[in-house]
Amino acid sequence: MAIRFQETLYGDEIFQGFTAEALVFEGATPFQKVQIFATARWGKVLVLDGIVQTTEKDEFVYHEMLTHVPLFACNNPRRVMIVGGGDGGILREVLKHDIDRVDMVEIDRTVVDFCVTHMPSLNAAGAIYKDPRVELVIEDAFVFMQRERRKYDAILVDSTDPVGAAEVLFSNTFYDLCRNALSPGGVLALQDGVVFLQPEESRQSMRLLRHMGLKARCYSIAVPTYYGGNMTLGLASDTIEVLQPNLDRLQERFRAQEFATKHYTPELHYASFILPRWMDAITGGLA
């Protein structure tokens, strides 16, 4: 019997949903309710606290753009941190790069384990966690960063929206921890929501990052799963050059890496920073 799933967005103003063939997994962890549905159109769908997080069908758009844009923006990324990312998609893409080490800090072990079991295309059936460059840490990233004080060339924040356990990841205190953890010339990347319907997410993150002395800028992507049009991803660094993509340099570095992508290209990287006027007005452009 088909299952109809409905997601309520932005208070109770908007609804979207899908029909699923089966509820593959459902469970409550100390942090959230986790569901994985099997669908004909989207493949497996990960839902946390009633909010769709990712699908097998279109996950590559978000994961590639939140990974390759910051890593190719950074001159020589050797040490990377992933905040969240329990489905494994960001880590899968990070490992395509010639890096020395990546710390993935995810608060909820259940998400990691059940995505390995039920959404193996996102994480190579768990093989990514056996890569010797990887340290998987099951802990609150806020606590981890306060204790460890490690330095990174890139910090990729793959979080849910700023509610519940993820709310602290959008705070001034957390951004300050990230700033202090960045190596000179390092880059911080984060998701800022669907800008047409969630303008305050990108407006506030850009304001906070700039207030603490970082250069910050948004770029845009379109992911079919996320209702409301383009979403913005934020990029911040202590140097403005990181935020000004050079197409010739991007093409050269991409050719040198010799790995495959489904969505990311150097040309798309460059174009994603060209925002319409209304987005520029919300995000503050390049500053």
pLDDT at 279 over 90: yes
The CATH T-level fold of domain 59-283 is: Rossmann fold (3.40.50)
Per-residue model confidence (pLDDT) at position 286 = 84
Residues 184-228 pLDDT 10s: 999 999 999 999 999 999 999 999 999 999 999 999 999 999 999
Per-residue model confidence (pLDDT) at position 166 = 46
Per-residue model confidence (pLDDT) at position 165 = 46
Residues 216-233 pLDDT 10s: 999 999 999 999 999 999
Question: 158 an active-site residue?
Answer: yes
* Band of residue 15 on the pLDDT scale cut at 50, 70, 90: confident
Per-residue model confidence (pLDDT) at position 13 = 72
For residues 156 and 285, which has the higher predicted lDDT (pLDDT)?
156
Average pLDDT over every residue of 257-278: 97
- Tally Cβ neighbours within 10 Å of residue 217: 26
- The residues near 244 (Cβ < 8 Å, ≥ 6 apart) are 286
Per-residue model confidence (pLDDT) at position 167 = 53
pTM of the model: 0.94
User: For 3-53, which CATH superfamily applies?
Assistant: Spermidine synthase, tetramerisation domain (2.30.140.10)
* Band of residue 16 on the pLDDT scale cut at 50, 70, 90: confident
Per-residue model confidence (pLDDT) at position 168 = 54
Percent pLDDT > 90 in the chain is 87
Per-residue model confidence (pLDDT) at position 161 = 56
158, 176, 192, 280: the active-site residue: 158
Residues 60-104 pLDDT 10s: 999 999 999 999 999 999 999 999 999 999 999 999 999 999 999
Per-residue model confidence (pLDDT) at position 53 = 95
Average pLDDT, the chain: 93
Residues 37-56 pLDDT 10s: 999 999 999 999 999 999 99
Percent pLDDT > 70 in the chain is 95
Same CATH topology for 3-53 and 59-283: the answer is no
Kindly list the domain boundaries of the chain, sorted by start residue: 3-53, 59-283
Per-residue model confidence (pLDDT) at position 160 = 66
